Structure 1
Amino acid sequence: MAIETWRIDTQHSSIGFTVRHMVVARVHGRFTRYEGRLFTNGDLLKAQAEVKIEAASLDTQVEARDQHLRSPDFFDVGAFPRVIFHSKRVQAAGKDRYVVVGDLTIKDTTREVAMETEFLGRVTDPYGTERLAFSARTSVDRKDFGLTWNKALETGGVLVGERIDIELDVQVVKAAVVEKAA
């Protein structure tokens, strides 16, 4: 049985997040440096994925906020430079839809998360490179990962929401095929 290894094409992918700000608005952010691999024998229900994100690469387009998010109040990128996801299992959820369940590690805390995932297709680009495309999303409570800093607002509520919505749009390119003994 052949195992295909695919790697994330970071030039054609994105990893983003949103969080409530001051109760009524949303702040959008993204990570600009990451790597990932997908291992499959052609059956996506048996696929395995891993993604490693450089936490310091977060970008909300406001440098002062980004510096605060990189600080010990939030990601503490000096002590915990990576956010890591390792899939554990894949469940069917409809035509070209899956739930990818895996371990997400932020700082020194690992929690199981379920990512609603859509397989967008398989193509060969004009240069002969095979590509797969996926869209995935999940939500996590940031306090579950030790990201607890906040400020109460005079009008009620808090400065930073607890729920973080994470969204990935990913293209992977075939990196290798390895024949495994049956």
Structure 2
Amino acid sequence: MKRILVSVSTIVALFLPVLASADTWKIDPDHSNVGFKVRHLMVSNVKGSFEKHAGTVVIDDRDIAKSRVEVTIDTASINTNVRKRDDHLRSPDFLDVAKYPSMTFVSRKVVRVGGDRLQVTGDLTLHGITREVVLDVEGLTGESRDPMGNIRRGASASTRINRKDYGLTWNKALETGGVAVGEEIAISLEIELIKAK
């Protein structure tokens, strides 16, 4: 019996460092930004953001492939600083927030591509449609303690999607050629994380 107990305790001791290397983090919405930009009238970019979002990130520094991300974004919280435009973006012409109140991202694969750069592949569900996207992540920081004793980390991420892939097809032809709203949307994320207690 003693041998079995010693063996079990030895195995647990060996695996404890591995188990301890994966930490759970919560996205701090007050210090994070979910932004986007899209071409307007073929001449300039309009920028906006989603003000309400929440998410959990599990980071395994020993084996980054075991890390994972889950994020939910409130589509009605879209803000381009123009009320009329935001109301149109919330309407059935675009996000249809009454029918689709949130969008989600759930990772399926995390790989390190050099230094502090990662690629996070996952499923983005928007407007009732799920497509694979790849987030290019850079600047994953080490841990830092804030004045309140919370442990924090941060990172930036970006990707591009075609809105038509998600059924967001509304547009208006221009007399000079082209369309009112571009199809490609550039997404940029500035994320600050707080270690879960």
TM-score range, shorter chain: over 0.9
Q: What are the within-5 Å matches in structure 2 for residues 1-150 of structure 1?
A: 1-2=19-20, 3-43=22-62, 44-122=64-142, 123-150=144-171
How far does residue 120 in structure 1 lie from its aligned partner after superposition? 3.3
Distance in 2 separating the partners of 1:141 and 1:29: 16
Deviation per CA, 1:96-155: give whole Å up to 9, x if none: 001110000001100000011013312112222111101000000000000000000000
In structure 2, runs of 5+ residues without a counterpart are 1-18
Deviation per CA, 1:48-72: give whole Å up to 9, x if none: 0011000000000000100000011
How high is the sequence identity, in percent, across the aligned residues?
48
How well do the aligned residues superpose, as a CA RMSD in angstroms?
1.1
Q: Which moved more, 1:34-43 or 1:81-90?
A: 34-43
The residue type paired with residue 181 of structure 2 is V
How far does residue 5 in structure 1 lie from its aligned partner after superposition? 1.5
Does 2:175 correspond to 1:154? yes
Aligned length: 176
1:179 counterpart residue number:
none
Larger relative strand fraction: 1
Q: Which moved more, 1:120-129 or 1:74-83?
A: 120-129
Q: Secondary structure at the match of 2:175?
A: coil
How far does residue 93 in structure 1 lie from its aligned partner after superposition? 1.3
Largest Rg, 1 or 2: 2
Q: Which is bigger in relative contact order (C-alpha 8 A, separation at least 6)?
A: 1
Q: Secondary structure at the match of 1:120?
A: coil
Q: Is the 8 A contact 2:123 2:133 kept in 1?
A: yes
Q: Secondary structure at the match of 2:92?
A: coil
Q: Secondary structure at the match of 1:92?
A: strand
Q: Secondary structure at the match of 2:45?
A: strand
Q: Which moved more, 1:41-50 or 1:26-35?
A: 41-50
TM-score normalised by the chain length of structure 1: 0.93
